[in-house]
Amino acid sequence: MGQAMANRILSAGHDLAVFSRTKKKAAGLMARGARWAGSPGETTVGAEFVCSMVGYPSDVEEVCLGPRGALRRMPPGTVYIDFTTSSPALAMEIFETAKKRGVAALDAPVSGGDVGAREGKLSIMVGGARAAFERAMPLFKCLGKTIVFQGGKGSGQHAKMVNQIMIAGTMMGMCEGLLYAKRAKLNPETVMASIGAGAAGSWSLANLYPRIIRRDFGPGFYVEHFLKDLRIALREARRMKLDLPALKLAEKLYARLKTTGGARRGTQALIKELERRPRRKDT
């Protein structure tokens, strides 16, 4: 998703410096005019905005706060935007650290998958200072269709946790419904035609159900990254003394899918975990 988002920024006419731990992944961007930076810190040279889109909170911590991190070299007045789905607590830490340096930090996780990233139709959930949010709006508009300020530091990450919790429940229901349709000898495509426009309609149904029917488990969003998000949500729920049983079940199912070789599959591969579960015996 980060590469697709960077392409959108280039297409909008902005100058762009890029860093990736694997340089060849940035080859296409450099061919389009992006400048290679030798470290996260080097991306900040002459930059008004510095953005990160990585995998895990530990990666965010490294590229932002680490010895070669961006925040160590960002001059006062710069805006740092983290698009990664990460820990709300880390977002708050980055906000406070950046503030001491005169830098504005926004936590701005996104939803919409690979298609949304390519087409500039992401939903962007933003936490931080409103003034920084307004300043970054032209950049956000390059990337997203739905851009909402959620509140203070960490609020964007909390909003994304809400998104992931709801997706987890939707994915389980969608996969179980498809298994039921097949067992009832229904045509999954005609079922889709009936339910897609009704109360069961959702982004997952419109975009991932067809992939499951085609047995296309390629990643729009990796299972291992979704599992990371679910575990962040569970930690936050425990901290807030919330019991979320559907979230707990989703985490268990995706954890099993990861251990059986599904880590780099798309989230729709959950169907494979449900298919391998033993049939219920009549009692």
Q: At what angle do helices 155-183 and 223-239 cross, to 10 degrees?
A: 120
- 160 part of the active site: yes
Residues 6+ apart with CB under 8 A from 138: none
Longest alpha-carbon distance in the chain: 70
> 127 - beta bridge partners?
107, 151
Pairing of strands 110-111, 122-127: antiparallel
Q: Which residues contact 240 (CB under 8 A, 6 or more apart)?
A: none
Specify whether the CB–CB gap between 198 and 229 falls below 8 A. no
Query: CA nearest 204: which of 166, 234, 260?
Result: 166
Provide the terminal-to-terminal Cα distance of the chain, rounded to the nearest Å.
48
Catalytic residue among 23, 145, 160, 258: 160
Closest to 18 in 3D by CA, of 27, 62, 78 = 27
Residues 125, 88: contact at Cβ < 8 Å?
no
Q: Which residue numbers are catalytic? A: 160
